[in-house]
Amino acid sequence: MSHYFRFQKLLLYLGISARECQEMKVHQFCKVVSEFALEYRTTREKVIQQHNKKKNYKERKKTRGKLIVDVCHHHFWQLPGVLSSCNR
């Protein structure tokens, strides 16, 4: 019985009313905590994915114009006739 009283004290500590503490079963409480943990993990993963997408987009946006210039100056300069098209 002492385990059940500890469980009721935990529920009271979490802010659940004394009446609800008496009615709530351990299995019901564990199920609520488990569902919350699942929801938290999935939401956290979505937030991390969105953050990474924004970060990658910013990096691509920084280098978007440089790629064409770098290709013209570093790779095509050896080919005849390309120098004039790259505006060197």
Predicted local confidence at residue 62, as pLDDT? 78
Mean pLDDT of 7-36: 93
Predicted local confidence at residue 74, as pLDDT? 54
Q: Measure the N-to-C terminal CA separation of the chain; round to a whole number of Å.
A: 86
Predicted local confidence at residue 77, as pLDDT? 54
Mean pLDDT of 25-36: 94
Is the pLDDT at 12 greater than 70? The verdict is yes
Q: Torsion-angle region of residue 81: left (phi > 0), alpha (psi -120 to 50) or beta?
A: left
> 32-81, pLDDT tens digit by residue?
999 999 999 999 999 999 999 999 988 888 777 665 555 555 555 555 55
Predicted local confidence at residue 33, as pLDDT? 95
Q: For the chain, which residues make up each domain, given as ranges?
A: 26-85
